[in-house]
């Protein structure tokens, strides 16, 4: 099968994985690499057809050597052909299990792409160990999770087992899932003194994509862990409270606790601004959608974790669902900060509490 994606042509043989719906994810990651701007070698682990590694190189001048890894012989052969057909000469190919590859290789790459089927959890330890083994310097870890049903709480026990965290299976599930994934990666990294700062955290379609900046810093990795926390959520009133520790308080009948969550900022505003600029110059098929997403992410970034879904609140309090922008304006007039969020089209992120959001909805 021949595939075209943003100016590159790929042949994808039978038995080699290719999902055209993930084009937007590849677009956004490529933008992030360009926006980071530093010279970097890339490892496209889980490469399949090689589409990511090839696009990252072709679209960004700062990419040097590209390493392609997959345990499927067909995939590696396919990636080799595609890299050659697209004029790439600085590459290496490994038909190997990713964990084994990361344990044994002496190659240093500054951008490690982890794009497996389903959960990335089994590979995070190996990825962190490799990044740490490479020593001082800034590196980047890019992680895709397509096990969103697990992280969003539809499969509660799987989330507890895979991520050692309690998910929220309600209107906060996507943001909660992203924050569980970040916390998990930070916990894995900490044992290697790796400080992992999320630069970009996206929830879209059926996937989560997080790009971290990684550096060796025992102090910062310890501090990072102090900032993980929990959310106490009252299922009847929809009130919520962030807590440092889950068991240090009494719980009422309808309260549930989720977490541990990463509770800091989800994105780097500086990186998002550069990505917005770059997107303007690129000819991506979904350019406008990407522009809207990036702007939403920029606007939500400085607001507290966890949004208010106005439709959920309207339903609970027997109100007409209000216009999201009208509530945002109302909250701003009262002196609160407020914005839409990329996690949910009917939600607001705000510095206001539930009581003021309700007042804004009742006007």
Ligand X SMILES: C[S@@+](CC[C@H](N)C(=O)[O-])C[C@H]1O[C@@H](n2cnc3c(N)ncnc32)[C@H](O)[C@@H]1O
User: Footprint of ligand X on this chain (CB under 6 A)?
Assistant: 17-19, 22, 26, 46-49, 51-52, 70-72, 75, 97-98, 115-117
Considering beta carbons, is residue 42 or 232 the nearer one to ligand X? Answer: 42
Q: How far is the CB of 327 from ligand X (least distance, A)?
A: 38
State the minimum distance, in angstroms, from the CB of residue 186 to ligand X. 22
CB closer to ligand X, 111 vs 308: 111
Residue 290 Cβ vs ligand X, minimum distance, rounded to whole Å: 17
Nearer to ligand X, 19 or 92 (CB): 19
In angstroms, give the least distance from the CB of 32 to ligand X: 15
- Identity of the residue, 114 or 338, whose beta carbon is nearer to ligand X in the bound complex: 114
Q: Taking the complex as a whole, how short is the minimal distance between the CB of residue 212 and ligand X, in angstroms?
A: 18
Give the Cα-Cα-Cα angle 5, 11, 15 (nearest 5 degrees). 115
Per residue, the 3-state secondary structure of 211-236, as one string, reads EEEEEECHHHHHHHHHCEEEEEEECC
Q: Which is nearer to ligand X, 208 or 336 (CB)?
A: 208
We find the least distance from the C-beta atom of residue 284 to ligand X, in angstroms, to be 15
CB nearer to ligand X: give 202 or 231. 202
Closest among 219, 171, 228, 224 to 196, alpha carbons compared: 224
């Amino acid at each position: 099968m021949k595939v075209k994606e943003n100016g590159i042509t790929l042949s994808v043989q039978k038995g080699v994985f290719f999902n055209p719906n993930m084009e937007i994810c590849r677009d956004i990651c490529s933008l992030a690499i360009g926006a980071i701007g530093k010279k970097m070698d890339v490892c496209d682990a889980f490469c399949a057809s090689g589409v990511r590694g090839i696009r990252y190189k072709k679209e960004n001048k700062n990419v040097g050597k590209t390493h392609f890894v997959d345990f499927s012989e067909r995939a590696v052969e396919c990636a080799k052909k595609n890299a050659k057909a697209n004029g790439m000469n600085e590459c290496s190919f490994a038909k190997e299990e990713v964990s084994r590859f990361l344990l044994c290789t002496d190659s240093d790459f500054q951008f490690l792409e982890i794009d497996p089927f389903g959960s990335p959890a089994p590979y995070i330890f190996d990825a962190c160990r490799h990044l740490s083994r490479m020593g001082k310097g800034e590196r980047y870890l890019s992680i895709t999770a397509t096990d969103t049903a697990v992280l969003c709480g539809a499969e509660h026990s799987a989330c507890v087992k895979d991520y050692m965290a309690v998910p929220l299976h309600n209107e906060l599930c996507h943001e909660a899932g992203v924050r569980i994934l970040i916390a998990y990666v930070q916990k894995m990294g900490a044992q290697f003194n790796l400080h992992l700062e999320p630069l970009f955290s996206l929830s879209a379609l059926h996937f989560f994509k997080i790009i971290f900046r990684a550096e060796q810093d025992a102090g910062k990795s310890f501090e990072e862990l102090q900032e993980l926390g929990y959310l106490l959520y009252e299922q009847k009133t929809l009130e919520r409270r962030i807590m440092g520790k889950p068991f240090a308080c009494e719980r009422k009948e309808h309260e549930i606790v989720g977490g541990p969550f990463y509770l800091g900022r989800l994105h780097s505003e500086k990186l998002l601004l550069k990505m917005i600029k770059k997107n303007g110059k690129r000819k991506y098929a979904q350019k406008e959608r990407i522009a809207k997403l990036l702007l939403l992410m920029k606007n939500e970034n400085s607001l507290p974790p966890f949004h208010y879904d106005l439709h959920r609140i309207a339903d609970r309090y027997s109100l007409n669902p209000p216009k999201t922008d009208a509530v945002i304006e109302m909250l701003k007039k009262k002196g609160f900060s407020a914005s839409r969020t990329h996690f949910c089209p009917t939600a607001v992120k705000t510095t206001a509490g539930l009581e003021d959001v309700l007042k804004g909805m009742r006007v």
